[in-house]
Amino acid sequence: MTVGPTIDQKSPSGAIIAPDLNKHDPLGTCPPHLKPRYEAMAARAKKGHADPAARLKCLECCAWQSGEVAICHIVECALWARNMKGRGKG
Ligand code: SF4
């Protein structure tokens, strides 16, 4: 799902600025019973590491089912090639 910028992502002049990553919870949609499994990955993502961030996005895309990430065949997705080597490790 594509979501446009929210009001707090715009400067006073109306220009779109980067989202505040400190407010972003990479595990925001993760079911509570799975959060401990991905907390270390989320911590690395919040420090700015791209690989765990992309991996978490794939997990979120697949409703946090790592098996589904492993068999993703949406090659048109920008994250597909990045996550090829990490598939199924979630
Ligand atoms: S590569 Fe597949 S699992 Fe990852 S975000 Fe894209 S469509 Fe979803």
Tell me the whole-structure pTM to 2 decimals.
0.73
Q: How far is the CA of 17 from the centre of ligand 1 (A)?
A: 25
Is 19 a residue whose pLDDT tops 90? no
Q: How far is the CA of 54 from the centre of ligand 1 (A)?
A: 9
**What separation in angstroms does the CA of 28 have from each of 10, 12, 64?**
22, 28, 11
Is 20 a residue whose pLDDT tops 70? no
Contact residues of ligand 1, CB 6 A cut-off? 57-58, 61-62, 69, 72, 74, 77, 79-80, 83
- Joined together, the tokens standing for residue 49 give 């590491």
If phi > 0 it is left, if psi is from -120 to 50 it is alpha, else beta; for residue 71 that is: alpha
pLDDT in tens, 49-75: 999 999 999 999 999 999 999 999 999
Q: Which residue type, as a one-letter code, is found at position 18? A: A
Which stretch of 9-18, 27-36, 76-85 has the lowest confidence by average pLDDT?
Answer: 9-18
